[in-house]
Amino acid sequence: MSVKLDILPLNHWLNTDVTPLIISGPCSAESEKQVMDTARAVSIIPNVKIFRAGIWKPRTRPGLFEGVGIEGLRWLGKIKEETGLLTTVEVANPSHVEAALKYGIDILWIGARTVVNPFSLQDLANVLKGVDVPVMVKNPVNPDLNLWIGALERINRSGIKKIAAIHRGFYFFDKTPYRNAPMWEIPIELKRQIPDLPVICDPSHICGDRESLRDISQKALDLEMNGLMIESHINPQHALTDPQQQITPAHLKELIVSLIIREEKGNIEFESKLEELRTEIDKLDAELINILARRMDLIDEIGKYKRDHNITILQLKRWSNIVRNRLNTGLDSGLNKEFLQKLLEIVHTESIQRQADIYRERNGQV
């Protein structure tokens, strides 16, 4: 399945040929001196083309620092004039959009907490009608690809063609090493469904700390994401929001220099070998699908046999033995345990469903 969006390529609305493209600046604009000093320091890093700063901060509880508001937009205007950097801020409601446009903000972004609410997205889409401004849409807090795509569609249908997605990770109940689990399969699937959509990675919000920034940044580039949004603060330890995940401009420069920029394609010999390996995978996939089809045919036979002899569908002892035996076999073959468990659960769920359908057929429910 693919999703059709009427969007312009990134290089049609962002005049830059650097790789990787870096969007940087503090989590929050706190004072004029803080943002000006940070902007001056990051502006001399060639890859940094866009300055970000939170002007309105959505906080979990009231009473915490919620941003400086419109005054911060004036500071960003000075930054643009002095450094030549483009500016971007998060907007969460129509009044934010109107204020940002009034003060000449170049790019808007919509945050993860706003993306979860289609009503809020539609309010933003409505106020953006007839406006020519780039909009970046972060993924929702929860791992829901359709919700992310829906937000992009709403903004696009308002007439905005300069669109990018921002991958900032997802809240996950299980404990992970990250503040927000990257779940790379979701932005990869987003790119598959909307191939022309630029995707920027936000390692700062994925990591939640400084230590993992380089690894996540490199992973994002290896997955052909179009750029990085990394939070930088002139004095991170005294930041009013998220001090643990912000880095100094000097640290940012070191991080960028350390990244390996890989080629999307290699030479003829490389491409030939790659094609050979991919062809072999295609053959194996065809065999795998054929084996799964034959397995499901046997499942149907078992279902009919159980039905005709009035036996229940779920046989827990048999299932437990299957899981144990298949895991042992798979682990001996060097396969990942978590992957095997997910695969077995998917196959088992489908098997149970097929047998249940067979039972319903006899009862005239299908």
Q: Say if residue 365's pLDDT is above 60.
A: no
Give a yes or no: residue 263 inside a domain.
Answer: no
- Residue 364 above 70 pLDDT? no
pLDDT single digits (tens) 308-343? 888 888 788 888 888 899 999 999 999 999 999 999
Residue 280 and residue 251 share a domain: no
For residue 43, give the CATH number of its domain. 3.20.20.70
Same domain, 189 and 335: no
Looking at the structure, do residues 54 and 74 belong to the same domain, yes or no? yes
Task: Quote the domain boundaries for residue 291.
Answer: 268-362
Q: Let me know if residue 2 belongs to a domain.
A: no
Q: Are residues 168 and 286 in the same domain?
A: no
Among residues 226, 258, 290, the one where a domain terminates is 258
* pLDDT of residue 366 exceeding 70: no
From CA 25, how far away is CA 190, in angstroms rounded?
A: 26
| CATH number of the structural domain spanning residue 274 | 1.20.59.10
In a domain, 348, yes or no: yes
C-alpha span between 200 and 203 (Å, rounded): 10
pLDDT at position 255: 97
Q: Interior CA angle at 263 toward 168 and 20, to 5°?
A: 40
Q: How far apart are CA 356 and CA 366, in angstroms?
A: 11
| 345, pLDDT greater than 50 | yes
Distance of CA 159 to the CA centre of its chain: 23
Same domain, 250 and 275: no
Question: Looking at the structure, do residues 153 and 203 belong to the same domain, yes or no?
Answer: yes
Of the candidates 230, 258, 286, which is a domain's last residue? Answer: 258
- pLDDT of 266 reads 67
Stretch 206-221: mean pLDDT:
95
pLDDT over 80 (residue 110):
yes
Are residues 92 and 239 both part of a single domain? yes
Q: What is the pLDDT of residue 288?
A: 92
pLDDT at 229: 98
Tally the domains of the chain: 2
Domain stop point among 258, 280, 314: 258
- Identify whether residues 82 and 139 lie together within a single domain: yes
Does 291 share its domain with 342? Answer: yes
Whether 228 is covered by a domain: the verdict is: yes
Residues 138/109, Cβ–Cβ less than 8 Å: yes
Q: Would residue 5 count as lying in a domain? A: no
In the predicted model, what is the mean pLDDT of residues 235-256? 96
Confidence of residue 47 (pLDDT cuts 50, 70, 90): very high
